[in-house]
Amino acid sequence: MHSNQPTAHLLDQPHHDGSELFVTPGQPRLGDRIPVRIRIPAARRAAEVFLRVNRDGNPLYLPAKLDRETSFESWYVAELPVDNTRVNYRWLLTGNQRFEWLTARGCAAYDITDAGDFRITTHSPGPDWMLDTVGYQIFPDRFARSAGADTRELPSWVRPAAWDDAPASDYASINQFFGGDLDGIAEHVAYLSDLGINLVYLTPFFPSLSAHRYDATTFAGVDPLLGGDTALERLSAALHQAGIRVIGDLTTNHTGVTHEWFQTARTDPTSPERGFYYWQDELPIPLKPWLQSFSDQWGGVWPANTDEASVDYIPWLGVPSLPKLNWASAELRRRMLDGPDSVVGRYLGAPFQLDGWRIDVANMTGRYAADDFYDAVARLTRNTVDTVSSNDAMLIAEHFYDTARDMDGDGWQSIMNYSGFIRPAWTWLTRPDTDLRFLDAPTSIPRRAGTAAARAARHFASLVPWSTTARQWNMLGSHDTPRIATITGSRALTEVGAAWLFTYPGIPAFFAGDEGGATGHDGENARTTMPWNQIAAGGGSRWDGSTHAVWRSLIALRRTHKALSHGGLRWVAATDDALVYLRETATERILVALTRAACSDITLPAWLSDAPPTPLFTGHAAVAPTLTSTPTGWHLFADSPSVGIWLLN
């Protein structure tokens, strides 16, 4: 039910973020003094405003000065001293018994920890081109087959599938082989250009014994089933010629059990490769219970017929085919991470010219029992990426959980934002009766109000500097999750989710096929092929042409308006069924309103725009809400799921 009383908007709260309106642009250096600003609505004016800076572990209070003032808000400015490589700061508003903090999590009239403070770092956040990126994930086996694919001899592990077959939903799907290859991708570069994406993320291309290729047998070359090294060279050249960058996918947490390093380690205990892995006789806890605890969580992937005695190593998550790497080994670091001749460095240089890496299960890399080499792995990888590419390549980490400990600025540049974007989006857009799993949780996806979704997104964004937030890899799903169209069960709600993705701070990225309404109820079943015959025809049972048109339109909007890629984020309203926010730069203000159902209870202040806003987007399944000027302000109304994007005067 909806109240007849208008919902209080959030524009009556003080605001600060790390965008150009509030923090002087540029990479800070140790010793700099940076002007930072806060805007305070007229109803919340303070007698005094202070900037509290955590310097050398101790708080320092600096008075802020009134910078400018209008009838509806005041702007204050203070100088932020960059006296540490990472600086935490917050604002204090005082006067007339008022003592109120403003942090990245919002306002608090009580004392709070530093966990939600704004942050700034002297470490480079990554190349500026990341801010203008729209990412597209390709699972090579499922994207497109070239003519050459039919001439290749198939290994014994392959279970061939017809291109239009449905992907399996069980563990046996790892052998289901559709035969897509790198030349097949190259043949569809024109499609990618027309869609508007400018970065391709390839899941692994190394030889392996599975379709997903996360169980590499070597890192020395490209899988012949994908066309080999020369096919990656051709694809990289074709993408770059079209103005599209490309990154690869690397497993630093494990290899395949048939990897050449692991085979040497098993046959020669005196070899340096022996130190690349963990072994059962070194395990500080009993093997079977440790493995079984993971197997139970991940659906019983520890096969019942596996001979435990033959598993003399430590498998990752109890999967016998994936032995875990031991990063105590200096030789492993040299071969895998360190310098232009390492695995990381080799593919960034000629002839492959990758533009960076995505690191698989980065949150577990280097962590095992008492060992924690996580930071060392992240920093060494980052150093090689920066050195080989002259600081022009990206390094993104797969990460599912709390990043507060793991994003210190000199390791990964960005993460796949499962916690800060996918989870909030799913919980707001999911069907009420869903039985789909909530990522790794032992329960179905909970359906939550927009207030909870916004609070969760804001909470996780507070863990990192704004420069990182602007480069987070945001998604509605990936090759490891159900498809967003299946989660929502609704074209209109899928459209609402896409609008959120393409208008939110960070890198919008999606799995190939999402733009055509691809479906899938788990990470295996969602790895669908691209139905090229239906795409050419404009639609079919596996391709929704109108959905494709909407995603293409949203991508173009994202790349046209700087406020959507570089602007700050100011939450305007959040209710059960509506999310409203502003994206702002010094020259452009865009209002975004998303509703998952009918909404008539939001009124925004008249000062928000002094002329009728200009609509920027027309949806297909989702309606366009109305924004009407009334004596009390701008009234937002929608009678069903809706997307409204306006340029404000």
Tell me the average pLDDT across 86-100. 94
Say if residue 58's pLDDT is above 50.
Answer: yes
**Which segments of 332-471 are extended strands (E)?**
356-360, 367-368, 371-372, 394-399, 414-417
In a domain, 156, yes or no: no
Structural domain including 618 reads 568-647
Higher per-residue confidence, 400 vs 375? 375
End of a domain among 517, 544, 562?
562
Q: Do 237 and 278 belong together in one domain?
A: no
For the segment 245-264, the average pLDDT, to the nearest whole number, is: 98
For residue 154, is it within any domain?
no
* 160 cis-preceded (ω within 30 degrees of 0): no
Number of domains forming the structure of the chain = 4
**167 found inside a domain:** no
* Residues 174-186 pLDDT 10s: 899 999 999 999 9
Clarify whether residues 352 and 227 are in a common domain. yes
Torsion of CA 582, 584, 587, 589, to 10 degrees: -10
Residue 592 maps to which CATH number? 2.60.40.1180
Shared domain check, 290 and 392 = no
In a domain, 161, yes or no: no
Do 375 and 470 lie in one domain? The reply is yes
CATH number for the domain that contains residue 5: 2.60.40.10
Q: What is the mean pLDDT of residues 436-447?
A: 87
What tens digit of pLDDT does each residue of 12-50 get? Answer: 999 999 999 999 999 999 999 999 999 999 989 899 999
Query: 448 and 523: one domain?
Result: yes
Average pLDDT over residues 305-315: 70
Examine residue 168 and state whether it is found in any structural domain, yes or no. no
Q: Is residue 376 part of a domain?
A: yes
Does 415 share its domain with 538? Answer: yes
Is the confidence at residue 407, as pLDDT, over 60? yes
Residues 489 and 410 in one domain: yes
Residues 75 and 208 in one domain: no
Let me know how many helices (H) and strands (E) the chain has, helices first: 17, 29
Q: Do 476 and 545 share a domain, yes or no?
A: yes
Residue-wise pLDDT for 602-625, tens only, equals: 999 999 998 999 999 999 999 999
* Percent of the chain scoring above 70 in pLDDT: 94
**318 and 334 inside one domain:** no
CATH for 412: 3.20.20.80
The answer to whether residue 31 is domain-embedded is yes
Give strand ranges (E) for 96-158. 98-103, 106-108, 118-121, 135-138
pLDDT of residue 5: 46
Say whether both 409 and 537 belong to one domain. yes
Residue 585 reports pLDDT greater than 80: yes
Predicted pLDDT of residue 300: 40
Average pLDDT over the chain reads 93
| Per-residue model confidence (pLDDT) at position 291 | 54
Residues linked to residue 37 through DSSP beta bridges, in sequence order = 77
Q: Is 22 exposed, middle or buried (0-12, 13-18, 19+ CB in 10 A)?
A: buried
Examine the fold and report which residue of 324, 350, 383 is the final residue of a domain before the chain moves on: 324
Q: What tens digit of pLDDT does each residue of 553-581 get?
A: 999 999 999 999 999 999 999 999 999 99
**Maximum distance among all alpha carbons in the chain?**
82
Three-state SS string over 204-244 comes to CCCCECCCCCCCECCCCCCCHHHCHHHHHHHHHHHHHHCCC
- Kindly state whether residue 160 falls inside one of the protein's structural domains: no
How far is residue 512's CA from residue 521's CA, in Å, rounded to a whole number? 16
Same domain as 315, residue 337: no
Which residue, 267, 294, 324, sits at the end of a domain?
A: 324
For residue 55, the SS3 value is strand
How large is the average pLDDT for residues 258-265?
A: 98
